[in-house]
Amino acid sequence: LAKTTQPISMDSYEGQEVNITCSHNNIATNDYITWYQQFPSQGPRFIIQGYKTKVTNEVASLFIPADRKSSTLSLPRVSLSDTAVYYCLVGGPGANNLFFGTGTRLTVIP
Amino acid sequence: DGGITQSPKYLFRKEGQNVTLSCEQNLNHDAMYWYRQDPGQGLRLIYYSQIVNDFQKGDIAEGYSVSREKKESFPLTVTSAQKNPTAFYLCASSAQRGTGELFFGEGSRLTVL
């Protein structure tokens, strides 16, 4: 079971860049790192996924060091609508033991 | 649009009653999952199915049952044996040959009166 560790909560002002780091020391060779965002009373939704180095899409960047034992989700210029819980997961195709943990509760302050 | 549909969104049940939560997907995914979420907590795996007519228990399967008669459908029954069934239930699916990305439904909130 690839367990992950994230900060429980973070606060940020609007317009700032937010970096959330996740530790996953026992990541397996074929595991991908995936981040999800969850709003209250909704299902989590995919933000970004990577295997190594850096991945960027229209909403976030994901930085993965060479040893892959951690990863950092970067949200540029956050807005109030980015207030949510963010989960980091590691796993591969057909994975049935994805560990969600409690995620990181991000609060964006006006 | 492709996606996962859960119903009902809200459900109330009296103690001692079984209830069934529906989950349908049109993503042609082989794998489907049921998770439970309690307030302020992460998601915990109840059951998962990787192919039709086969399913496996997750971490908290006691008091729950599932079936997978069709690829598109994975209903969850919360039985009277589940001691604390009030929770938010989430269904998800993934492609077996993808990268493990999960697609979630909007959830069903069950309240036991």
Structure confidence by residue, pLDDT tens digits, B21-55: 999 999 999 999 999 999 888 899 999 998 999 99
Q: For B91-108, what is the mean pLDDT?
A: 86
Per-residue pLDDT at A94: 61
A96 vs chain B: nearest CA distance in angstroms? 7
Q: What percent of chain B has pLDDT over 70?
A: 95
CB atoms within 10 A of CB A29: 6
pLDDT in the model for residue B1: 63
- CB neighbours (10 Å) of residue B24? 18
If we measure between CA atoms, which residue out of B19, B21, B17, B18 comes closest to residue B9?
Answer: B21
- In whole angstroms, give the CA distance from residue A47 to residue A22: 15
Read off the pLDDT of residues A19-70 as tens digits, 9 standing for 90 and up: 999 999 989 888 899 999 999 999 999 999 999 999 999 999 999 999 999 9
Question: How close A77 comes to chain B (CA, Å)?
Answer: 26
Cβ within 8 Å of residue B60, ≥6 positions away: B36, B44, B45, B46
Mean pLDDT of chain A: 92
Alpha-carbon gap: A88 to the closest alpha carbon of chain B (Å)? 11
Kindly determine whether residue B106 and residue A42, on different chains, have CB atoms separated by under 8 Å: yes
B27 touches chain A (CB under 8 A): no
Between positions 60 and 79 of B, the ones with CB within 8 A of A are none
What is the mean pLDDT of the segment spanning A1-18? 91
Q: Chain A partners of B56 at a C-beta cutoff of 8 Å?
A: 96
State the pLDDT at residue B113: 87
Q: Has residue B98 got a pLDDT over 90? A: no
* Whether the predicted pLDDT of A2 surpasses 80: no
Token pair 């008669």: residue = B69
